[in-house]
Structure 1
Amino acid sequence: MYEVLMVVYLLVAIALIGLILIQQGKGADMGASFGAGASGTLFGSSGAGNALTRATAILAILFFIISLAIGNLSANHAKVDDSWNNLGGVGQATEEPVSTPKTTDAEKNKTEDTIPD
């Protein structure tokens, strides 16, 4: 599930970047008002902006929703132990941790008394 969301997230991000780069800026409408012939385009003089703006808004909403879902999954995701950490093999015995000798209360008090000030 996590990997699928990451792929969809990447595709939505690339599509969002593409749609933003395709759109014209507000200053580009200045040439159309002086008779540059923008009304003869495929979407008309203002139709392309509305369709591209709506598609950009939809992709932006998807981007944020998927971002929150991936963040939630990665926060609750248990870290899988890496197989590179144990290269010894399955059949080999591993070292056991060395146990520390236990001290009694009398030995603890004795070491506290001998610490110089």
Structure 2
Amino acid sequence: MHTVVLTIHVLLAIGVIGLVLIQQGKGADAGAAFGSGSSATVFGAGGSGSFLTRMTTALATLFFVTSLALAVIAANRGGESDSVVDRTAPATEQADPGAAGGSSDLPADEGTSGTGAAGGESESDGDLPPIEE
């Protein structure tokens, strides 16, 4: 549904832009007052102004309706989130600084005693060699 309304919205936007660019400015009416032959046009003696104005108004109204429809569809999407921040989970839980032994998230050095996994033993990080000082 979202894709259909969005496609119609884009087509209406292109239509409104095209109609606005086709219309003549207010200064172009001065030439018609001096006999430029506007009575022989396709749109009649009144010219194309009223037809193009009505079409622009109709397309602009439909454009606003599709804008509101897209806003309602986006608001009712529910649990889906397009935010990257909402999708990512915290990598690690932060340790409580007041926890036993004052442990931190950083690996312990081998040379220090009393810290680390169990009384001076350090946890190995897989295939990484120990750090030499």
TM over 0.5: yes
Instruction: Output one character per residue of 1:65-113: Cα deviation in whole Å (capped at 9) or x when no partner.
Output: 100110121123222698xx89xxxxxxxxx955857x79xxxxxxxxx
2:48 is paired with a residue of what secondary structure?
helix
Offset of residue 59 of structure 1: 0.3
The answer to whether the 8 Å contact 2:23/2:52 transfers is yes
Secondary structure at 1:43's aligned position in 2?
Answer: coil
Unaligned stretches of 5+ residues in structure 1: 87-95, 105-117
Secondary structure at the aligned position of 1:46 is classed as: coil
C-alpha contact (below 8 Å) 2:5/2:70 kept by paired residues: yes
The C-alpha deviation readout for 1:16-59, integer Å capped at 9, x for no partner, is 11111111111111000011111111112324211111111110
| Runs of 4 or more consecutive aligned structure 1 residues displaced over 6 Å after TM superposition | none
Unaligned runs of 5+ in 2: 100-133
Q: Which has the higher contact order (CA 8 A, sep 6+)?
A: 1
Structure 2: distance between partners of 1:65 and 1:52: 20
TM-score norm. by structure 2 comes to 0.59
RMSD after superposition: 2.7
Q: TM-score, normalised by structure 1?
A: 0.66
The structure whose Rg is larger is 2
Report what 2:81 is aligned to: 79
**2:17 alignment partner in structure 1:** 17
Among all aligned residue pairs of Structure 1 and Structure 2, give the percentage whose two residues are the same amino acid: 46
Letter in 1 for 2:42: L
Higher normalized helix content (fraction of residues): 1
Residue matched to 1:48: 48
